[in-house]
């Protein structure tokens, strides 16, 4: 159990690191272009590519983090109107199915990465093997699947509350005050 | 539409007698050379097979970007594709030779002749592609590449110094422009029009029909008829699929590919000439057309020669063997060293000035 | 086939599945049922392609700049300033929002970025003065539509490339429709404030106004530098997003010192979450587009709906409907790339002006981005404001009515697009 918690914490830290520095890296790369172009008449040939790599990594590695924080976008119109019991049932059923689907995507995207690896393709500017980048797609889907399982589990374990994610209670059961607090970016 | 269901299942069906649907994906949109090619190709195959084979041409956009399309051909999601080697250069490195400047003859006719008959391309390079499950059945030009610019008219390599030139970002292309002393810049094509308009970048390269179609000339002051290389496209098929066809069907395809070579040459010529005329006559967005003298071309050509060594040592996986052979074939056709004469003739006529014009009365 | 796909999506959506599930699963199931020989790994390829479009980089960067400015003081200084001049009139804050969105749209070219950059600080202002949240959010996401109409517009650049139309002309043609939308929202905002009796803000004295102006001088420089930079060619629209980050950084970290540099990673992290939540949908949208393109669903539909010899108006109406619905599902850029080539030939043979067609298409792309059930701006607002979907869309109907009315106006009077040319 202790090992489990340490692993969880490690992954959480890693995801937070990736999300933060992917965005900072994109900013640095994009800002560098007009600056170097104006001052030196030159742009880093890999600037666009590094930005695009960062976006891909942040997007897929963010799936599980957003799931943990209950930040995935959904059309909750009918869900919000439903009574506690219905929401409780859905809060177990939806993460389960979502997890299964993400695991399926993890499987297919692994196949895709293997295809890319076999083709030997490299990125245009950095000449980096493309599969290294695309590896983050199955990893992201897999970690996302795990997190949705955990979202399901917390809803099974805690009978009195509905959770949107392990770190996020359902806003429908909260006072406005709390929503404001959790809602800040 | 109730007929949606049966579209995909015929892809694997090899049994003759039944009607089949093949997909042919292109990198261009309706009206542009590649798509027109695919449509004409589809019509001819349909007629030759008495309506048994339907080819559905796909425009650029719906099936992802160019690299995606290459992968889709590799995996057999589509059976056929028109693609340019530039987008496979990170997979089949040898294919990057099409990006070398002043490699092919100055005359577009002679270039097409090389593309049709070269063993280096049609045998050796083809084998390289087949290692990836893609068979190029033919190579053809979409026209010579030109430079457009604002602020500076590009007439000699020194004009590139400090000039903000937008190119694609393969190492070979970057090297080609560094050879002229330029610092090439990357700029996504979605932003290129605005960037040229505002002077964020000052110039770019493309065939004339594309410069016209994408309206780049509207925001550029000069167009240098540099013909520094050709925009080459390939008619390609998924190797396994093609090899699995019966011989009759294969020869129908081969035969059609061959007749299309002349058709597409005329098509690109017509489009490029028409756009050149439009660009010349557009008084609202005047573009000065710059013809290079033989000496001016020579200056670019000699500056570009070193890049071939870069190709041999840094890009090629077979030490430039295919390039060596191709260079020989080109010399055989032009009857001169590719490094020297520009092989231009017939430009005595005052009005007709483009390469295509001079060659057309062959 | 389309029916299967839509049914699956709607059911999953209504059950409150994370939206990435219906967007990604529906096309997968269509592949399984109708194209059993097709390798589903193709969809994985499209996931990555969808988010690799260079122009999309502007989205996380504008979000990042907005996050920095929201954490710090920039936005407050800027809005104190605007508020001190027009905040006291009826609906002054709502008009300010519409104006700020229009202005920011002239910087970013992206509706999503506008939602974030203007919406984040303005929403707080609107709530404070007494607007209900759905009203505020509806105003924000709809005012952001204008970003696609006024230059620069990424949507118009895409249309220009695909159709071979002059992008410069398109830019000019979008100005009047953009202003019409802004005016309509302004009139509505004032009327709404009168009817709902939104409290008036205190009228600022000229001394206060001067103070606010002085405090706001640096933040005001922000749009000036960004717009000026684009128009003088110092940087591209996407790079402008990067410059916004730099500018926000200089103001908040170096000059005002309202943010310590150590806080940046945690601000970037919150940007990262929103980016991920929005971009997985862009990825899913791309896979979705691939399947409908591959199955030639669009072609089937146009043949069926346009008939043999359609009139110009009829074509434009159908174009509007299709782009509107298309943008409900996926990013407007993708819709323009996919649908323009399909409708363009029909429109040309019906005698539609290509520039006018571009304006109509861009207008629908803008409208569709803010319209339920699937507008990308709604996703963005939902993610950025961390609000449930229903609350985000509750206030949109009046705006949809206005936008549809303007759309009809544009369809019938092509001069509105063409008169500046
Ligand atoms: Na704009
Ligand atoms: Na919508």
Q: What is the distance in A from the centroid of ligand 2 to the CA of C401?
A: 14
The pLDDT value recorded for residue C75 is 64
Segment holding B141, helix H or strand E: strand B134-149
b/e burial code for range C273-287 (CB count within 10 A of at least 16 → b): bbbbbbbbbbbbbbb
Unique residue bearing structure tokens 């097409």: B112
Which value, in Å, is the radius of gyration of the alpha carbons in chain C?
Answer: 21
3-class DSSP assignment, residue C38: coil
**Closest CA of chain C from B31, distance in Å:** 9
According to DSSP, the residues that pair with B140 across neighbouring strands are B233
What are all long-range contacts of B215-219, with beta carbons under 8 Å and residues at least 24 apart?
B215/C160, B215/C164, B215/C165, B215/C166, B215/C167, B215/C168, B216/B148, B216/B192, B217/B148, B217/B279, B217/B282, B217/B285, B217/B287, B218/B282, B218/B285, B218/C166, B218/C167, B218/C168, B219/B150, B219/B193, B219/B285, B219/C168
Q: Determine contact, residues A63/C375, Cβ cutoff 8 Å.
A: no
Instruction: Select the residue of B90, B168, B183 nearest A122 (Cβ to Cβ).
Output: B90
> Which ligand lies nearest the alpha carbon of C377?
2
Alpha-carbon gap: B130 to the closest alpha carbon of chain C (Å)? 21
Question: In angstroms, what separates the C-alpha of A58 from chain B's closest C-alpha?
Answer: 21
Q: Is the pLDDT of residue B5 over 60?
A: no
- Looking at residue A46, the DSSP 8-state letter turns out to be T
Say yes or no for a CB contact (<8 Å) between B74 and A119. Answer: yes
Check whether the bond before C373 is cis (ω within 30° of 0).
yes
A33 touches chain C (CB under 8 A): yes
What mean pLDDT comes out for the span B286-291? 95
- Print the domain residue range for A78: 2-183
User: Which of B97-101, B275-279, C19-23 shows the lowest mean pLDDT across its residues?
Assistant: C19-23
Size of interface A-B (CB pairs under 8 A): 45
Å from CA of C366 to ligand 2 middle: 9
C331 touches chain A (CB under 8 A): no
Question: Helices C264-294 & C58-71, crossing angle to 10 degrees?
Answer: 150
Q: Is C350 on the interface with B (CB under 8 A)?
A: no
- The structure tokens listed for C133 are 């949240």
Specify the pTM.
Answer: 0.80
Q: Structure tokens of C82?
A: 């605007």
What is the average pLDDT score of chain B? 86
A89 φ/ψ angles, rounded to the nearest 5 degrees: -65, -45
Most C CBs within 10 Å, among A37, A55, A163, to test the C interface? A55
Residue A85 in this model has a pLDDT that exceeds 60: yes
**Cα C50 to Cα C331: distance, rounded to the nearest angstrom:** 10
User: How far does the centroid of ligand 2 lie from the alpha carbon of residue A45, in Å?
Assistant: 37
> Does the structure show a pLDDT above 50 at A179?
no
Asked if A34 and C235 come within 8 Å (Cβ–Cβ), the reply is yes
Residue B184 DSSP code: -
Tens-level pLDDT at each residue, chain C (421 residues): 777 877 887 788 778 898 889 888 888 888 888 888 888 888 899 898 888 877 778 778 877 887 787 777 776 676 777 778 877 888 888 888 888 787 766 655 567 767 877 788 888 888 988 889 999 999 998 988 887 888 667 678 778 766 767 666 787 888 899 999 989 998 999 999 888 888 777 788 899 899 988 888 887 677 677 667 766 778 876 788 898 899 889 989 999 899 999 999 999 998 899 889 888 887 887 888 788 788 887 677 677 777 777 889 999 999 998 888 777 766 676 677 667 767 887 788 788 999 999 999 999 988 888 887 667 788 778 878 888 878 888 889 999 999 999 999 999 998 888 888 7
Q: Is C60–A98 a contact, with Cβ atoms under 8 angstroms apart?
A: no
For residue range C207-235, list pLDDT tens digits in order: 989 998 888 888 767 767 766 776 677 88
pLDDT (mean) for A83-112 = 94
Contact A97 C21 (CB under 8 A): yes
Span C312-345, pLDDT tens digits: 999 999 999 888 877 776 667 667 766 776 788 7
Residue in C with minimal Cα distance to B198: C233
Q: Do the Cβ atoms of A58 and C276 come within 8 Å?
A: yes
Q: Quote the CA–CA distance of A138 and A61 in Å, as a whole number.
A: 9
- Cα distances from B31 to residues B27, B35, B67, B140, C333, in angstroms, run 12, 7, 22, 17, 21
Nearest Cα residue in chain A from C25? A101
Supply the DSSP symbol for B102: T
Write down which chains contact chain B via at least 3 CB pairs under 8 A: A, C
- Considering every ligand atom, which ligand is closest to the CA of C380? 2
**SS3 per residue for A71-89:** CCCECCHHHHHCCHHHHHH
Candidates C310, C374, C302; CA nearest to C338 is C302
User: What is the pLDDT at residue B354?
Assistant: 34
What is the number of structural domains in chain A? 1
In 10 A of CB C118, how many CB atoms?
30
Q: At what angle do helices C41-52 and C20-34 cross, to 10 degrees?
A: 140
Q: Label the pairing between strands A168-169 and B80-83.
A: unpaired
CA of B3 to the centre of ligand 1 (A): 41
Q: What integer pLDDT is reported at residue C331 of this predicted model? A: 64
B24 strand-pairing partners: B57, B80
Is the minimum CB–CB distance between A56 and chain C shorter than 8 Å? yes
For residues C79 and C220, give the distance between their C-alpha atoms in angstroms, rounded to a whole number. 10
Neighbours of chain C (3+ CB pairs under 8 A): A, B
Position B99 scores a pLDDT of 93
Q: Do C279 and A55 touch (CB under 8 A)?
A: yes
What is the percent of chain A where pLDDT is above 90? 62
Tell me the residues of chain B between 110 and 139 that have a Cβ less than 8 Å away from chain A. Answer: 132
CA distance C268 to C61: 10
Report which DSSP code applies to B166.
B
Residue among C45, C67, C388 minimizing CB distance to A112: C45
Q: What is the pLDDT of residue A174?
A: 59
> Counting every residue, how long is chain C?
421
B168 touching A (Cβ < 8 Å): yes
Would you state the structure tokens that stand for residue C197, as one six-digit string? Answer: 């009796």
Cα C158 from Cα C163, distance rounded (Å): 9
Query: Of the bound ligands, which one is closest to the alpha carbon of residue C240?
Result: 1
DSSP string, C266-294: HHHHHHHHHHHHHHHHHHHHHHHHHHHHH
d(CA A99, CA B173): 45
The answer to whether residue A51 neighbours chain B at the CB level (below 8 Å) is: no
What local confidence, expressed as pLDDT, does residue C164 receive?
A: 66
Contact B56 C296 (CB under 8 A): yes
CB pairs under 8 A between B and C: 137
- Verify whether the Cβ–Cβ distance C41 to A112 is below 8 Å: yes
- The Cα–Cα gap between C279 and A136 comes to 14
Beta-carbon count within 10 A of C11 CB: 12
Residue B105 gets the label, from left (phi > 0), alpha (psi -120 to 50) or beta, of beta
Put simply, the answer to whether B187 touches C236 (Cβ < 8 Å) is yes
pLDDT of residue B9: 40
The answer to whether the CB atoms of B71 and A115 lie below 8 A apart is yes
Distance from CA of B355 to the nearest CA of A (A): 32
- Give the residue from B77, B177, B185, B195 with the most A CB atoms within 10 Å of its CB, the best one to mutate: B185
**Mapping DSSP to helix (H, G, I), strand (E, B) and coil, where does residue B21 land?**
strand
Chains that touch A (3 or more CB pairs under 8 A): B, C
Q: Which ligand is nearest to the CA of C332?
A: 2
**Residue A69 to chain B, least CA–CA distance (Å):** 32
Residue B270 neighbours by CB distance under 10 Å: 14
- Which helix H or strand E contains B139, and what residues bound it? strand B134-149
Residues C13-29 pLDDT 10s: 778 898 889 888 888 88
- Going from the Cα of C370 to the center of ligand 2, the distance in angstroms, rounded, reads 5
B77 in reach of chain A (CB within 8 A): no
Which residues of chain A make contact with B75, given a CB cutoff of 8 A?
115
Q: Are B129 and B136 in contact (CB under 8 A)?
A: yes
Ligand 2 centroid distance, CA of B91 (Å)? 39
A59 with C279: Cβ contact below 8 A: yes
User: Kindly report the CA angle at B243 between B241 and B247, in degrees rounded to 5?
Assistant: 120
Q: Is B71 on the interface with A (CB under 8 A)?
A: yes
Q: Are B187 and C297 an interchain contact pair (Cβ–Cβ within 8 Å)?
A: no
Nearest to B173 by CA among A120, A119, A45: A45
Q: What is residue C162's predicted lDDT score, i.e. its pLDDT?
A: 67
Cβ under 8 Å to C: A residues 65-124: 65-67, 69, 71-80, 90, 94, 97-98, 101, 105, 108-109, 111-112, 115
Residues B169, A124: C-beta atoms closer than 8 Å: yes
Q: Give A185's contacts in chain C (Cβ within 8 Å).
A: 67, 70, 120, 270, 274, 384, 386
B9 Cβ contact list (under 8 Å, min separation 6) = C35, C36, C37
Q: What CA–CA distance (Å, rounded) separates A135 from A115?
A: 11
Residue contact A34–C243, C-beta within 8 A:
yes
What integer pLDDT is reported at residue C83 of this predicted model? 75
A-C Cβ pairs (cutoff 8 Å, strict) = 200
3-class DSSP assignment, residue B207:
strand
Report CB contact under 8 Å: C35, B198: no
- Which chain A residues are Cβ-neighbours of B131 within 8 angstroms? none
């Amino acid at each position: 159990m202790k090992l489990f918690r340490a692993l969880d914490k490690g992954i959480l830290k890693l995801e937070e690191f990736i999300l933060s520095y992917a965005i900072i890296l994109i900013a640095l790369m994009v800002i560098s272009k007009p600056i170097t172009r104006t001052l030196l008449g030159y742009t880093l040939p890999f600037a666009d590519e590094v930005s695009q790599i960062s976006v891909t990594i942040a997007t897929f590695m963010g799936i599980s983090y957003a799931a943990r924080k209950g930040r995935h976008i959904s059309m909750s119109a009918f869900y919000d109107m439903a009574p506690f019991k219905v929401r409780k049932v859905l809060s177990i059923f939806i993460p389960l199915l979502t997890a299964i689907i993400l695991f399926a995507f993890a499987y297919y995207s692994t196949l895709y990465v293997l295809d890319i690896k076999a083709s030997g393709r490299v990125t245009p500017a950095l000449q980096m093997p493309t599969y290294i980048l695309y590896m983050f797609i199955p990893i992201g889907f897999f970690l996302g699947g795990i997190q949705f399982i955990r979202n399901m589990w917390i809803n099974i374990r805690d009978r009195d509350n509905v959770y949107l994610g392990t770190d996020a209670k359902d806003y429908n059961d909260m006072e406005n005050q709390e929503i404001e607090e959790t809602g800040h970016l | 539409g109730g007929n949606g269901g049966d579209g995909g299942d015929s892809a694997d069906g090899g049994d003759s007698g039944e009607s089949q649907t093949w997909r042919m994906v292109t990198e261009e949109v309706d009206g542009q050379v590649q798509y027109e090619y695919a449509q004409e190709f589809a019509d001819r195959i349909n007629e030759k097979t008495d309506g048994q084979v339907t080819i559905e041409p796909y425009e650029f956009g719906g099936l992802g970007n160019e690299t995606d399309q290459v992968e889709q051909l590799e995996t057999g999601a589509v059976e056929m594709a028109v693609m340019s080697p530039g987008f496979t250069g990170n997979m089949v490195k040898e294919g990057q030779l099409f990006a070398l400047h002043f490699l092919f003859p100055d005359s577009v006719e002679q270039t097409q002749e090389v593309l049709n008959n070269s063993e280096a391309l049609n045998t050796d390079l083809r084998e390289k592609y087949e290692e990836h499950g893609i068979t190029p059945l033919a190579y053809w030009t979409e026209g010579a590449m030109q430079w457009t610019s604002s602020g500076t008219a590009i007439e000699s390599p020194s004009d590139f110094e400090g000039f903000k030139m937008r190119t694609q970002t393969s190492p070979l292309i970057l090297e080609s422009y560094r050879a002229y002393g330029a610092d090439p810049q990357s700029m996504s094509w979605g932003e290129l029009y605005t960037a040229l308009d505002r002077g964020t970048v000052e110039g770019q390269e493309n065939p004339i029909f594309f410069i016209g179609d994408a309206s780049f000339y509207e925001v550029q002051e000069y167009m240098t008829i540099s013909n520094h290389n050709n925009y080459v496209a390939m008619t390609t098929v998924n190797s396994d699929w093609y090899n699995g066809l019966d011989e009759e069907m294969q020869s129908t395809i081969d035969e059609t590919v061959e007749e299309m070579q002349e058709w597409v040459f005329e098509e690109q010529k017509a489009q490029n000439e028409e756009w050149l005329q439009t660009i010349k006559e557009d008084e609202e967005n005047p573009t000065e057309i710059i013809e290079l003298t033989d000496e001016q071309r020579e200056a670019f050509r000699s500056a570009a020669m070193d890049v071939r060594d870069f190709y041999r040592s840094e890009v090629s996986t077979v030490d430039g063997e295919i390039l060596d052979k191709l260079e020989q074939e080109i010399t055989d056709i032009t009857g001169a060293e590719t490094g020297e004469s520009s092989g231009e003739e017939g430009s005595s006529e005052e009005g007709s000035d483009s390469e295509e014009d001079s060659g057309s009365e062959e | 086939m389309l029916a299967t796909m839509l049914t699956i999506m709607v059911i999953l959506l209504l059950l409150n599945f994370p939206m990435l599930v219906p967007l990604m699963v529906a096309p997968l199931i269509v592949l399984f049922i109708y194209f059993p020989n097709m390798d589903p790994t193709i969809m994985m390829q499209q996931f990555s392609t969808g988010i690799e479009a260079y122009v999309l980089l502007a989205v996380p960067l504008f979000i990042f700049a907005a996050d920095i400015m929201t954490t710090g003081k920039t936005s407050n200084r800027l809005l104190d300033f605007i508020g001190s001049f027009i905040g006291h009139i009826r609906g002054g804050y709502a008009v300010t929002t519409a104006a700020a969105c229009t202005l920011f749209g002239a910087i970013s070219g992206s509706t999503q970025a506008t939602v974030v950059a203007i919406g984040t600080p303005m929403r707080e202002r609107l709530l404070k003065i007494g607007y209900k949240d759905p009203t505020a959010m509806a105003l924000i996401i709809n005012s952001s539509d204008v970003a696609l109409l006024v230059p620069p517009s990424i949507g118009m650049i895409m249309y220009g490339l695909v159709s071979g139309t002059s992008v410069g002309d398109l830019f000019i043609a979008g100005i009047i429709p953009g202003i019409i939308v802004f005016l309509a929202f302004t009139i509505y905002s004032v009327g709404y404030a009168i009817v709902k009796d939104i409290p008036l803000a205190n009228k600022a004295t000229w001394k206060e106004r001067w103070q606010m102006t002085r405090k706001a001088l640096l933040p005001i420089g922000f749009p000036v530098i960004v717009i000026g930079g684009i128009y003088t060619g110092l940087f591209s629209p996407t790079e402008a997003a990067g410059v916004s980050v730099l500018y926000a950084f200089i103001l908040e970290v170096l000059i005002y010192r309202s943010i310590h540099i150590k806080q940046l990673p945690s601000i970037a992290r919150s940007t990262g979450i929103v980016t991920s939540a929005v971009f997985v949908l862009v990825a899913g949208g791309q896979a979705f587009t691939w399947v409908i393109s591959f199955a030639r669903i669009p072609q089937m539909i146009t043949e069926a709906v346009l008939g043999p010899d359609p009139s110009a108006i009829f074509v434009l109406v159908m174009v509007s409907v299709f782009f509107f619905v298309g943008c409900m599902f996926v990013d407007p850029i993708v819709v323009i790339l996919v649908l323009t080539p399909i409708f363009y030939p029909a429109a040309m043979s019906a005698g539609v002006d290509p520039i006018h067609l571009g304006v109509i298409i861009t207008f629908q792309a803008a409208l569709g981005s803010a319209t339920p059930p699937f507008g990308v701006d709604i996703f963005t607002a939902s993610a950025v404001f961390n609000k449930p979907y229903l609350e985000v869309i509750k206030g949109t109907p009046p705006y949809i009515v206005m936008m549809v009315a303007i759309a009809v106006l544009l369809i019938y009077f092509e001069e509105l697009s063409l008169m500046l040319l």
